[in-house]
Homo-oligomer: A and B are copies of this chain.
């Protein structure tokens, strides 16, 4: 099964666990709406790929970690879209949860998805007790205070925020959790995989800033220009468009270089290069900077990685 199919199936299975007659049906529907259809599912793909690279030996636990990471990401999108933050009407080409189900259910949907993430970890972790505490620690670190995505979002409520700190927390933290927890799910030391998550997370945020400036609402599937209209820190605003694209390329180069020695190193590098191309195509980077970048010269990017 390819990575995306595996993730979709694991998410579907997890959401089905909550489908009991005792549950409020609109909450269940809103939770499903928040998770399907998904976006690129880059975080859980990364998680699965790292677990595979580390000699994955506990597939159900790896699935649970990937599911947890994606549920936490979806929860953050639901809450970020709400009127008190972005007040977004559209997400992934469909109405946001609060537009489809109202604000009260959107608030509860985010909460329920957060709890479900930890429930998934606990249920799978019962068969691997020696890995569970470390996994949950990693996932919590990427999510809460002081340095997780919730803290990252909270920097938007401060009068002064350091761009690097804001990006590391708002986006980088959950990428780091994805790579590190992927390793831990396979019983491996997460330390060597931290840098990959950091580089990809920052690159992802920088790419988002760049696209936020460049693209129209139709192309993104969400309103563009949100950063400027909300006065948020942005790499494109700080460094200018050319500077931001150069920074993006440096981060992607560093991500490729950071992949630790392992049997799947070549495949992991291909995932990074493919993700880079998906975020900001090389031709677009070249056009903006007026330079020709030299990575990945001969190989064909893998469009789908087979686990």
Contact = CB atoms under 8 A, between A and B. Distances in A.
A105 B84 CA distance: 9
Given A26-B158, A133-B122, A137-B123, A108 B147 contact: no
Interface string A123-160: 10110011011101100110111111011011111100
Interface stretch (A33-41, A112-120, A217-225, A274-282): A112-120
B108 A111 contact: no
Interface in A260-276: none
Nearest to A124: B133
Contacts of A105: 154, 157
A20 B122 CA distance: 28
A24 interface: yes
Task: Give the size range of A's interface with the partner.
Answer: 35 or more
A27 interface: yes
Contact of A154 (B27, B79, B156, B165): B27
Interface string A55-84: 000000000000000000001000100101
Number of copies: 2
A22 interface: yes
Nearest to A148: B115
Contact of A116 (B31, B144, B155, B161): B144
A104 interface: yes
A10 interface: no
B108 A150 contact: yes
B122 A140 contact: yes
Nearest to A21: B146
Interface string A165-186: 1000100000000000000000
B140 A134 contact: no
A25 interface: yes
Q: What 7 A-B pairs come out closest when comparing CB atoms?
A: A23-B146, A115-B144, A122-B136, A119-B140, A27-B154, A84-B103, A126-B133
6 contacts: A20-B147, A85-B104, A104-B156, A104-B157, A114-B115, A129-B132
Given A79-B111, A116-B145, 10 more contacts: A24-B145, A24-B161, A102-B157, A108-B154, A111-B150, A115-B140, A119-B137, A125-B133, A132-B132, A132-B133
